[in-house]
Every structure is written in structure tokens, then in C-alpha cells.
Amino acid sequence: MGNLLCCVQVDQSTVAMKEGFGKFEQVLQPGCHCMPWFLGKRIAGELSLRVQQLDVKCETKTKDNVFVNVVASIQYRALVDKANDAFYKLSNTRGQIQAYVFDVIRAYVPKLDLDDTFEQKNEIAKAVEEELEKAMSAYGYEIVQTLIVDIEPDEHVKRAMNEINAGKKNLRP
């Protein structure tokens, strides 16, 4: 974003917040805009409209007392028609999303056995996405996609499971 002789440029895929004497006036779309700073006008900041991704790693325990690390990938973006809310209502978007993801995963996974956790990863992702959509829409954000990309049990559990599977293969005639 440039500023020369009371003109500002808002870059593609962003919007800017115009304020007059510290009060919000309007959302500026990409392009060139007149900004008479000597009349108290200024750009408070910019907001990206691009899809952003946040990977969240959450440790939790399953119903059969196995600790697992669940990695969720959240894709989200600010909505242009709610850019004012996205800019002014929420100061730490990534932290807010992470807190909701932790909350849903730590409520959902302890109800499942380890094997069920792997089988129901799509249901876990759906539960996370629904909760995030409800919460973040109030702040002007849209949840584009939620994926559970990895479920990794504790190293001792993985080793024990591999030994059990190896033992089963050796017992077959």
C-alpha cells in the first residue's frame, strides 16, 4: 500500500480500513483512493482476503487411555462484506481458532477408542469445522476447510502395536 500526495493504493486481495479522526468510516477496496490526511483521514490497517491455513497440533487421550497427537489443518479467510468485523472485533485470529480446535478435539476424542479415532477422523474434522464456523462467523471469518491430517499415538504405543502385528504375521501358517 502506497501513500503519495493524499492518494493511497490498496493492493489486490486486500482491503483497507479508512478512519476519520480515529473513527471507522469505510472499507476501501483494491485500487487507488484519495486520502486527505490533513483532514484527519488515515488508513488504520489492511486485511488480507486470501485463504490462510493454520495447522494445530493437539495432544489428548483416547477412551482406552492412549495419548495421541491430533494435527488439524484449518483453512479460513476474512469475508469482504464483514471486513469491518474481522479487522476490529478480533485481535488474534489464529489464537482464537486454535482455542476452538483444542476445545472440540479434547471433547470429542476422549469418547473414542484408539482404533475408532483413526476411523472417525472425518467426523472429528466435521465437528471442528461446525464449531469453528459458528464461532468465527461472528468475527467476519469463513471456515473454508477443516482436515485432520495426522493422528499419532505415543511412541511406546506405536512400537507395541508394531510388535503385535509382527507377531500375528509370524503365527500364520
Asked if 22 contacts 45 with a C-beta cutoff of 8 angstroms, the reply is no
Note whether residue 169 is domain-resident: no
Quick one: 133 and 157 in the same domain?
yes
* pLDDT reported for residue 105: 95
The number of beta carbons lying within 10 Å of the beta carbon of residue 99 is: 13
Do 95 and 119 lie in a common domain? yes
**Residue that has been written with the C-alpha cell 479522526 in this structure:** 21
The CATH number of residue 136's host domain is 3.30.479.30
- Rounded alpha-carbon distances, angstroms, from residue 136 to 26, 48, 58, 77, 115: 22, 16, 20, 10, 31
pTM: 0.83
Task: State the residue range of the domain holding 60.
Answer: 52-163
Separation between Cα atoms, residue 104 and residue 109, nearest integer Å: 8
Q: Letter for the amino acid at 171? A: L
60 lies in the same domain as 34: no
Work out how many domains the chain is built from and give that number: 2
Residues of the chain with pLDDT under 70: 1-5, 162, 165-173
pLDDT value for 115 = 87
